Amino acid sequence: MKEMLDLINQMSPYVLLGFLFAGLMHAFIPNNLYSKYLGGRTVRSVINAIILSIPLPLCSCGVIPTAMSLRREGASKGATTAFLISTPQTGIDSIIATYSILGLPFAILRPVAAIITAILGGILGITFADEKDENSTVAMPQQSVAGEPEKSFWQKMAGGIKYAFVDMMQDIGRWLVAGLVIAGIITAFVPDSFFEFFAQSSLLSMLMVLLLAIPMYLCATGSIPIAVALMLKGLSPGTALVLLMAGPAVNTASMLVVNKVMGRRSLLIYIGSIIAGAIAFGMCIDYMLPREWFLQPLNAIHAHSHHGLPVFNTICSVALLALLVNAFIRRHSHSHHHDCECGCGHSEGEDCSCKSENAAVVICVEGMSCNHCKASVEKALKGIAGVETVTVDLVTGEASVTGKFDRDEAVKAVEAIGFTAKLKEV
């Protein structure tokens, strides 16, 4: 377990730095550029999707509703598939975290493999997509932002820092902790002899990792300590790359959503591209590149476990722990204050003259797991004609909507981005 504690200490400064960069990108890079560059069944739309996905600080679950929103706004199936494959692994936070533990070769090869695999998946998507279905996409109404004041530099900075260390920490923190726990369990309790049989064959070990990684959810950052644990047990660097690629990109939730919104053919292209790309790059690492490139960072972990790490790393680890605790408390704390169902801000039970005229409609949304999911639902509902206010509670999975609008249209708008929605019975 000491090795895992040293791993956390070595990783924490880079994780915090990666979160900060991701937050600043979120604050300063406008997100209204994407849909107009992703339409059409062309290779250019696929390349545009990959280029535009690189700076996006999206976690592995947040990319799903974002991609489905782009699809409903006119992005081709090929561009959407490429966006889904490349985004989680090309984020600045995951690249920096990969470099911190697995070294420069992995930090370079991981996003390169993701980009090339995304190009493959995107081209297959535009080649084999149903043309009739492709052309039937109806653009979602766009939310008007007229009159919204332009934020100052310092307001953007503050918003970026909040997004990095509050919102992103809520979204990714639990999965990072889960990854560290799983890595600790593998290191402490799984005997080396368990992996000896798989270590004899790179392909067999890759298939074993795929079998374990595909059904469960792993975020791009949380998969890193698990990859380290597997390598410490003797599995090849190529097998670790397969986990790093397949874990964040393919999981049960994403497969269900892609099948629902884009169809079975697109789902098969999506899964097949990731598996083929992961295994191909994994085999290249194991048979074409020096193994020492990828084992040197592990030796550094062993060295640090004997000689210790600088005090700065320990301070960063304490800060990371404090932020994770804060994120947990924020995510799971419930206020006992209940707003009036009209959404006007009065407490329940207080006199409210507008209650009968503008009662809120509550929509139960299944599948939201992060703040990106919440933002996607809000955007979809605010685009409905007649909607005045939207309040989404991530913990309860309820969206409270006021205004004079078509309720069935609101439910369909949420379902169009991959969630399950229904009106709450009163």
In tens, the pLDDT along 161-213 reads 998 888 888 877 777 788 778 877 777 777 777 777 777 788 999 998 888 87
Give the phi and the psi of residue 389 in degrees, each rounded to 5.
-135, 150
For residues 249 and 89, is the Cβ–Cβ distance under 8 A? yes
17-21, 27-31, 87-91, 124-128 — most confident range:
124-128
The mean pLDDT value for 289-301 works out to: 79
pLDDT value at 293 more than 80: yes
For residues 376 and 66, is the Cβ–Cβ distance under 8 A? yes
Higher pLDDT, 147 or 418: 418
Sequence-distant (≥ 6) Cβ neighbours of residue 188 within 8 angstroms: 1, 4
pLDDT value at 274 more than 70: yes
The phi-psi region of residue 234 (left if phi > 0; otherwise alpha if psi is between -120 and 50; otherwise beta) is: left
pLDDT in tens, 366-423: 888 788 788 889 988 988 988 999 999 888 889 999 998 999 999 999 988 888 899 9
| Fold for the domain defined by 361-423 | Alpha-Beta Plaits (3.30.70)
For residues 370 and 254, is the Cβ–Cβ distance under 8 A? no
- Residue intervals of the chain classified under CATH 3.30.70.100 are 361-423
CB atoms within 10 A of CB 197: 11
For residues 203 and 3, give the distance between their C-alpha atoms in angstroms, rounded to a whole number. Answer: 28
Q: In what order do the strands lie in the sheet with 361-366?
A: 387-393, 398-403, 361-366, 420-423
pLDDT value at 133 more than 90: no
Q: Which of 119, 117, 37 is nearest to 70 (CA)?
A: 37
pLDDT value at 309 more than 90: no
Predicted pLDDT at 272: 93
Predicted pLDDT at 123: 93
- The mean of the pLDDT values for the chain is 79
User: In angstroms, what CA-CA distances link 126 with 3, 40, 129, 348?
Assistant: 46, 9, 6, 52
pLDDT in tens, 378-388: 988 988 988 99
pLDDT value at 138 more than 50: no
pLDDT in tens, 214-241: 777 777 888 888 888 888 888 899 999 9
Q: Give pTM, 2 decimals.
A: 0.73
For residues 366 and 420, give the distance between their C-alpha atoms in angstroms, rounded to a whole number. Answer: 5
Predicted pLDDT at 280: 96
Tokens standing for 124?
């297959």
371 secondary structure, DSSP code: H
For residues 66 and 78, give the distance between their C-alpha atoms in angstroms, rounded to a whole number. Answer: 15
Q: Which of 196, 182, 169, 173 is nearest to 4 (CA)?
A: 182
Tokens standing for 414?
């949420």
For residues 179 and 222, is the Cβ–Cβ distance under 8 A? yes
pLDDT in tens, 35-86: 567 767 788 889 988 888 776 767 666 777 778 777 877 788 899 899 889 9
For residues 217 and 175, is the Cβ–Cβ distance under 8 A? yes
Q: With cut-offs at 50, 70 and 90, classify the pLDDT of residue 242.
A: very high
pLDDT value at 346 more than 60: no
Q: With cut-offs at 50, 70 and 90, classify the pLDDT of residue 284.
A: very high
Q: With cut-offs at 50, 70 and 90, classify the pLDDT of residue 268.
A: very high
Angle, CA of 223, 225 and 230, to the nearest 5° = 95
Higher pLDDT, 259 or 184: 259
Predicted pLDDT at 94: 83
**Size of the chain, expressed as the number of residues it contains:** 426
Q: With cut-offs at 50, 70 and 90, classify the pLDDT of residue 119.
A: very high
pLDDT value at 269 more than 70: yes
Q: With cut-offs at 50, 70 and 90, classify the pLDDT of residue 278.
A: very high
Helix (H, G, I), strand (E, B) or coil at 296: helix
Helix (H, G, I), strand (E, B) or coil at 392: strand
Maximum CA extent, the chain = 74
